[in-house]
């Protein structure tokens, strides 16, 4: 059972704030076109993450928060990947996860585990842009897959325009 701490700041050290929202899509190029050409978001990163079996594109409006909002579009690379299962179950796409930046994903995961929350990985795995990531099971968060992300380097949010 999850033990709700009375002082979240004390219990989860190093929480830096909301990092990105992950959206699962069946057609990455079509989704990029929608968000870039209709909403005016800017593509700041593209990557294939073979460990997670996803192709991803990160976009931002450049507004909101210290480094701008971040939308991560995710498309499965493999038929038997967890993201493919999600797409099938959700009828083609939808909100997949919400990610929070932390200064130390290992210690954040350890503290959450101590509170009875299920972390999906025993040790962090490779995330976008050289980050280290872990996930909290959606059944322990009220139905939302929650990602913890520790960015690589001193300025993790700095992103380079690549033209989309
Ligand atoms: C599954 N469920 C979800 C969910 N995925 N609920 C909310 N959000 C999601 N994303 C629900 C199902 O509807 C089901 O609920 C229950 O969880 C268990 O379903 P399941 O069939 O057992 O689901 P599985 O086998 O697909 O596993 C779910 C699990 C998996 C969360 C463990 O998706 C996983 O390992 N995720 C972590 C890795 C991942 O998602 N990678 C892609 C993003 P009911 O009520 O029907 O029982 S990679 C990424 O994001 C990287 C690139 C990055 O940001 O750097």
Domain boundaries, the chain: 16-150
pLDDT at 141: 96
Q: How far apart are CA 28 and CA 43, in angstroms?
A: 12
pLDDT at 8: 52
Reduced to 3 states, what is the DSSP secondary structure of residue 141?
Answer: coil
Superfamily name and number for 16-150: 2,3-Dihydroxybiphenyl 1,2-Dioxygenase, domain 1 (3.10.180.10)
86 lines ligand 1 (CB under 6 A): yes
Structure tokens at 142: 């009220």
Distance 72 CA to ligand 1 centre (A): 16
Distance 147 CA to ligand 1 centre (A): 11
Q: How far apart are CA 135 and CA 44, in angstroms?
A: 23
Kindly give the confidence (pLDDT) of every residue in the chain, 164 residues in length, as a single tens digit, with 9 standing for 90 and above: 566 655 555 667 799 999 999 999 999 999 999 999 999 999 999 999 999 999 999 999 998 766 679 999 999 999 999 999 999 999 989 999 999 999 999 999 999 999 999 999 999 999 999 999 999 999 999 999 999 999 997 444 443 433 33
The residue annotated as part of the active site, out of 9, 56, 147, 150, is 147
Q: How far apart are CA 6 and CA 3, in angstroms?
A: 9
């Amino acid at each position: 059972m999850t033990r709700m701490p009375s002082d979240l700041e004390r219990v989860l050290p190093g929480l830096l704030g909301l990092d990105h929202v992950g959206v699962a899509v069946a057609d990455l190029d079509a989704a990029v076109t929608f968000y870039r050409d209709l909403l005016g978001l800017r593509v700041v990163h593209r990557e294939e993450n073979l460990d997670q079996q996803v192709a991803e594109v990160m976009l931002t409006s450049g507004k909101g928060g210290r480094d701008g909002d971040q939308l991560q579009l995710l498309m499965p690379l493999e038929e038997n990947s967890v993201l493919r299962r999600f797409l099938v179950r959700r009828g083609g796409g939808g909100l997949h996860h919400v990610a929070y930046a932390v200064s130390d994903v290992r210690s954040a995961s350890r503290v959450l585990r101590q509170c009875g929350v299920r972390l999906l990985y025993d040790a962090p795995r490779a995330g976008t842009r050289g980050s280290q990531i872990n996930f909290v099971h959606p059944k322990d968060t009220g139905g939302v897959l929650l990602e913890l992300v520790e960015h690589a380097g001193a300025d993790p949010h700095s992103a380079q325009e690549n033209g989309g």
